[in-house]
Structure 1
Amino acid sequence: MPRIDAPTVAEHRAARERALLDAARELLTAQPDRVPTLAEVGAVAGLSRSSVYEYFRSREDLLRALVSDSFPRWQRRLDAGLAAADGPGGRLLAFLRVNLELVADGEHALARALSLVAPSDDLARESRAFHERLLLPVAEALTELGVADAETATELVNAVVHAASRRVEQTGDLERAHEAARALLAAYVDALAPGGDAA
């Protein structure tokens, strides 16, 4: 039996799988236009190619596991940020902040890389469903704020977040992009408040 580096075989396997997923994330983020080979992923994780095959049968299998691992991580961070926010306006501003932090951390680059290198129908469907789930709290917050056409407003808020995300990717300056986008969304939220200027 091979030597294990954890108290149990299950923990050992989980640690190795985590190392392989992290290695794949690192390689894909560094070169988003190509799928790394299993041997390359194994080398970064410190495992032989044959050991990698004990966890993933193919690169497609590895990519599928990476998608399943990455989307919930994004969702958990967003959920935590929204839970700490005060009121619907606060949730909109938290949505902006958390998404920009994720972009700064490289998560958005990974999601884009996955969509480029693994454009299967299944992945495209998963990606669309994931992004629709991400936007649900925005629509809910806007509805609470009394916006009549929350669907259109959600798309507009999302456009501001995407524009700010691009600025973070282009400049690496999270705070500057956040400050500019927050000023726009905060003014919108204030205008929606009772006594505000929103029509």
Structure 2
Amino acid sequence: MPRITAPTVAEHRAAQQRALLDAARELLAEGEPEIPGFAEVAARAGLARSSMYQYFRSRQHLLEALIEDAFPRWSARVDEAMAAAGAPDRRILAYVTANLDLVAEGEHAIASAIAAVAPSEKVNRASAEMHNQLKAPLVDALDELGVPDAAETADLVNAVVHAASRQIEAGADVAAVRSRATALIEPYVTLVAHRTGYGNSTT
């Protein structure tokens, strides 16, 4: 990999840090049995091992940076898909498909690998907080749709998403899993949409 260059020092540093995080993510996605070592990450990024110490104090610090990096990327994708969907019933379906698309791209495997290689109270707490934040727009859409007990219903929707995610990670056909998950949830949101005045917004 060629040396990273950028117009400014700040941009150069940001590009290097991005390259190192991406390299660590790739190693975890490949089934790395532990937190990748600095030499291994730097080599994957095409940088000197000493570059790691400019951004990360330790392997644990690298892990924390990976966690902080993973959630905004995932959340932004889901938020973007939901925002483009329009009506709340469509946003709920977009939430399902966007999450499954991310699983298919390997993002969930990376998160699972992080939890597996470094289980800790801090990692578990961060993971729970991220899931709660990610669930918030789903709860909002359900509430706007007029669903009673929106938070509890969101947990049921997520149960379908999680089950579908496990099927994808086990090697099932992504399109088939996505279709099954949508087939389970769409009739419900369509029914509620009709009852609460959103009409045929899912058609």
Tell me, which stretches of 5 or more residues in structure 1 are unaligned? none
Whole-angstrom distance in 1 between the partners of 2:9 and 2:172: 41
Give the aligned partner of residue 10 of structure 1: 10
Aligned to 2:174: 174
Q: Which residue of 1 aligns with 2:86?
A: 86
Which whole-Å deviations, capped at 9, do the CAs of 1:32-60 have from their partners, x for residues lacking one? 54211111101101122222222212111
Tell me the TM-score normalised to structure 1 length. Answer: 0.91
Q: CA deviation at 1:23?
A: 0.3
For residues 44-193 of structure 1, the aligned pairs below 5 Å read: 44-193=44-193
Q: How far apart are the structure 2 equivalents of 1:154 and 1:32?
A: 33
Q: 1:4 offset after TM fit, Å?
A: 7.1
Amino acid at match of 2:76: R
Counterpart of 2:25 in structure 1 is: 25
- Identical aligned residues as a percent: 54
TM-score (norm 2): 0.89
Count of matched residue pairs: 194
In structure 1, how many angstroms separate the alpha carbons of the residues matched to 2:40 and 2:4?
Answer: 22
Tell whether the 8 Å contact from 2:78 to 2:98 is kept in structure 1 after alignment. yes
Partner in structure 1 of residue 199 of structure 2: none
Structure 2: tracts of 5 or more residues without a match: 197-203
Q: Tell whether the 8 Å contact from 1:104 to 1:172 is kept in structure 2 after alignment.
A: no
RMSD of aligned Cα (Å):
1.8
Counterpart Cα distance in 1 of 2:142 and 2:98: 18
Cα distance change on mapping 1:12 and 1:180 into 2, 3 Å = same
Name the aligned partner's letter for residue 39 of structure 1: A
